[in-house]
Structure 1
Amino acid sequence: MPYPASKPTFLPLTLAAVRTSTTGSDDPARAPADETVRRRAEEADRTAADCWVGLLAGCDSPARRDLSARLLALSTALSSAAGQDRWNDSAHGRRVSAAALRIGAAVEEGDGEEFAEAVSGYDQTVATAVVSLGTRLGSSTV
């Protein structure tokens, strides 16, 4: 039996970390924030995949224009879930912002190799932040 076609994922670590950190929350009031983080991570992943296709094709696809906004939306959701002051003052928040800027520069230059490296770094950076903040994302002890 052939393997079903699967969509590429560009943020596998982030998606796994978000899904793990937001399941089993001890506070039902946190569920909307946790769901927003998960949804934003999935949207960013899909847009990164579409952006990659645009870069490979050498065209100015909508995903190339939308990716920075999707990454910002994910960062904003993480900030909200973790506590905005805590996130903005943390090394994690600064690293995520720097990694997102690197992706934006690669997209602007149309550099596929730099894009792949930047997305990989971003994925690791966001996943590390999510795991570090994980108990806070899924609990009321922010």
Structure 2
Amino acid sequence: MEQLDHFLGDRRNAKLRARSEASSRAAPLRAIRDPADADGVLMTLVARARGTPTPEREAVIQTEMQKVTAHDDDHGTRMAYIRHAAAQASDADTAVDHLAPLLREKLDASERDDLERMPEAVAVVHGGPIDAQERLIARTVRVLAEPL
């Protein structure tokens, strides 16, 4: 009986620890308040769907970010945070789920169209999008189209 109690306690603790770690990893995504940063994370995840982002993909992300942010922004710091938040995401689908409410709330229809175009610009680098990138972009578009 004592062994069973110990086993169940360990199992409960492991579940709690896993939930805590998942919550901790999602904190950078939950902290995002600027839709431009959220879009940067999505572009980075599209780039990562093809492997380690290349300098060419990073350049496209930075160029797209400069189009939607103020000219005097510290883009280096912004990009560092975006990379960190994307790296902490347990997977791309979870990241989309965390970011979608912010994007639906803050963006109008034309801005959502821009948001769809930007990850596609990243996906075409190096020979066009692969299946994983297309699925991520399609899921993002679908989730953003859902009503609040």
What is the TM-score normalised by the length of structure 1?
A: 0.38
Q: Larger radius of gyration, structure 1 or 2?
A: 2
